[in-house]
Structure 1
Amino acid sequence: MIELKHLRTLTKLRDTGSLTATATALHLTQSALSHQLKDLEVRIGGTLFFRKTKPVKFTAEGDIFLALADEILPKIAKSEHDVASLKEDLNGRLHMAIECHSCFQWLMPALKEYQVSWPSVVLDFSSGFSFEPLPALVAGELDLVITSDIQPRSEVHYEPLFDFEMKLIMSTSHPLANREQILPEDLSDQTMISYPVPKQRLDVVKHFLQPAGVEPNKWKKADNTLMLVQMVSAGLGVAALPNWAISEFSRQGLIVSKPLGEGLWRRLFAAVRHSEHDRRYLQAFFSTAKIESKSHLDDIKMA
C-alpha cells in the first residue's frame, strides 16, 4: 500500500531533481532513500523514474503518483491546519472593551450563553473609557471592541450586530417632555448628563449637536446607567441613551423619552482584527450577540 511518505518523497524528488538533494532535504541517507523508492516500485510493480537522468525524469507510473500527491498532500495539509486552528479556537482568548455602559444590559446575558458552548475561551473585558480601544485592538492587547464608531482601518474588521435609536430622556415634569421630537437648539440651555467619556466620542454630540453647531449649557457625568437615570429623573439634567437602555425606566414612569430630530439611528459593531475575524470562537460570539440583542430588542417592542 502506498503511504503519505512515498508521495512526499516523490514530490521532493521532482522539486530537487536529484536523489542526493532529495536525501538531504528529507534528512535521509541515500541508501535509505533508494530503499524507500525501490520498496514503492516493488509494491506497484513498475518503475517510477529513469535512473541516471539529470534532472530526474519520471515514468508514466511516476507521473500518476505525482498527480495523486498534488491532489492529496494539499488536502492533508489543510486538514492539519484546520484541526490545529480548531484546537486554538477552543482555547482562545476574548479580551474585549465596551464603548458603552448600557451595552451590559444585553451583553452579559449574551456572554453567559456564549460560555455554555465555548467554556474554554478566556473572557475578560474593560470599559474602554480610560484608553483608546482600537489601537489596543490592533496591537493585540484587546481581541474585540463593542462600538458604534467606525474608524476605517485595513487591520480592523467591523461585524454589524444590530441597529438602535438614541433618544433623549428627561424627567416627567421637564418642559421638553411635551415635545413630539427634540431639535438640537432645544438643548442649548440644558444640562446634559453623560457617561465619563470625552464628549467628542458621544453619538449625540457627533451626529446631532455638532453638525448643528449647538453646545449644551452645562455637562455633568454619571458613572453608570442607573445613576444617570436617577439624576435625570430628579430633574438634574437630560441625557441621550440607546432605546434598549431606557425601556424599563420608562415603564416605571421615572423618565420620558423623545426622539432626537427625525430619529438618531446608529449601528453597533463588534470590531476585531481582520486577520482573525473568521475564527470559529469569534464567529460564534457574533452569532450569540446578534441573537441575544434581537431577543432584548423584541422584548422592548412587545412591552
Structure 2
Amino acid sequence: MDVSLRNLKLVNVIVKEGSVTKASEKLFLSQPALSHQLKKLEEEIGLKVFNRLNKKLILTEVGQILFDNSEKMLVSMNQLNSELDEIKKGKKKKIRLTTECYTCYHWLPSVIQEFRKSNPAITVQIDIEATKEPLQYLMEGAIDLAIVSTRSHHSSIHFEPLITDEMVAVVSKDNPLCTLEKLNLTDLIHQNLILYDIPEEKNYVLTNILHNNIGLVNSIQKVQLTEAIIELVSANLGISVMAKWSVAPFIHTKNLEIIPFDASLGKRNWSVASLHKISNIEHSFIDEVKKAFLDV
C-alpha cells in the first residue's frame, strides 16, 4: 500500500472545502477528474475513505486517519519548501509575523525600528490580514511567527511564552466606578460596555473576562477603533476593558481612569507560535518585544 502526498492533499482539501465540487475548484481540477482520483485512491488501498450520505461525504475511520496525517505532512512539506527556498536565496533575511490582536500594531513599528538598529539586513514584514486567523496562516506557511494569547493543541505548532499583560477597566473620571481601587465583575452590572467590533468568539473580554455571560453588564456596544472607544468612554457614555498598554497613551490627555480587576482576572498570557525551532535572529526580535513591555 502506497499513499502519496498527492492523495493526502486530495483528502485534506475535500474535508476542508466540504464537497467534491468546491475541492475541485481549489485544486484546479474538473469534478469528474477529482472523483476519479478519489475512487482510484479507495481502490488502491482497498478501503473506503468517505461514506456518501445524501450527497454528503463523511469520513470513515480510515479517512479520519488519512486526514489527521495529511495535516501533519502538509505542514511539514510547506516548512520544507520554505527552508529550501531560504537556502536557495542565501540566508534568511525576512521575518514574517502577525498578532491576533489588532491593537498590537501601534507598538510593533517601534519594536521593529529598535530591532533594525542592530539587524539592518533583516526585514520584518507584518501581515495584518493574518490577524484574523494567525494560526491558520502559520499552518499554511504564510507567516513565520504569530503573537497570540490563545493556544492550539496542534502537534505541529510550537509555543514559546512571550509576555503577560493586564486587562483593565477604562472609565471616565465622571463615572462612579472611578473611585474604586479594584474592580469585581459585579461592579459592571449597570454599565454600558464598549468593546472592539470583532467576532464574539475572538473577543478576549467576552470569552475570558465575562466568560460569555453578557448579563454581567447592562448593555454592550461595539466599536471598531481604539480612538473612538476612548472618546466614548471619556464622555462617560460607557466603560471599556482593554490592555493597560493599549490605553496608556491616552491617560494623560483624556478624562480617563484605569481600574485593575480583583485577583488575577485581568492577566493575559501571550506566546510566540511557530512551526519550527525559533532561530537566533527571531529570538533577537522577540527580546525586543519583551523589552518594549518592561515599563508598561
Fold shared per TM-score above 0.5 = yes
- 2:288 is the alignment partner of 1:288: yes
* 1:140-176 CA distance string (max 9 Å, x none): 1222222212223222222222211110101111122
Change in 2 beyond 3 A, CA 1:125/1:196? farther
Give me the whole-angstrom Cα distance separating, in 2, the residues matched to 1:130 and 1:164.
Answer: 19
Deviations 1:103-138 (A, max 9, x none): 234322111112233334343224468732211111
Partner Cα distance (1:253, 1:205) in 2: 25
Q: Does 1:234 align with 2:254?
A: no
Residues 64-100 of structure 1 show CA distances to partners (whole Å, capped at 9, x for unaligned) of xxxxxxxxxxxxxxxxx9x9599422x23x2222222
Partner of 2:244: 243
| Deviation of 1:287 (Å) | 1.7
Say if 1:99 and 1:146, in contact at 8 Å, map to a contact too: yes
What is the one-letter code of the residue matched to 1:269?
S
The answer to whether the 8 A contact 1:129-1:196 is kept is no
CA gap 1:105/1:253 in 2 versus in 1, 3 angstroms? same
Relative to 1, partners in 2 of residues 1:130 and 1:96: Cα closer, same or farther, differing over 3 Å? Answer: closer
2:185 aligns with 184
**1:38 — aligned with what?**
none
Supply the distance in 1 between the matched residues of 2:113 and 2:278 (Cα, whole angstroms).
22
Match in the other structure for 2:150: 149
TM-score relative to the length of structure 2: 0.62
* Cα distance, 1:206–1:128 mapped onto 2, change above 3 Å: farther
Residues 166 and 267, structure 2, Cα contact 8 Å, conserved in 1: yes
Which stretch of the first structure deviates more once superposed, 126-135 or 241-250?
126-135
- Residue type of the partner of 2:285? F
How far 1:183 moved relative to its partner?
A: 1.9
Q: How does 1:26-65 map to 2 (within 5 A)?
A: none
Distance 1:256 1:129 in 2: 33
Letter in 2 for 1:100: C
Asked if the contact 2:127–2:143 (Cα under 8 Å) also holds between the matched residues in 1, the reply is: no
Could you tell me how far apart the structure 1 residues matched to 2:160 and 2:102 are?
20
Match in the other structure for 2:199:
198
149 and 217 in structure 1: CA distance in 2 versus 1, 3 angstrom threshold: same
Larger radius of gyration: 1
The runs of 5 or more residues in structure 2 that have no matched partner are: 1-83
Q: Is 2:99–2:131's contact at 8 Å kept on the other side of the alignment? A: no
Give the % identical residues.
24
CA change 1:237–1:209 in 2 (3 A) is same
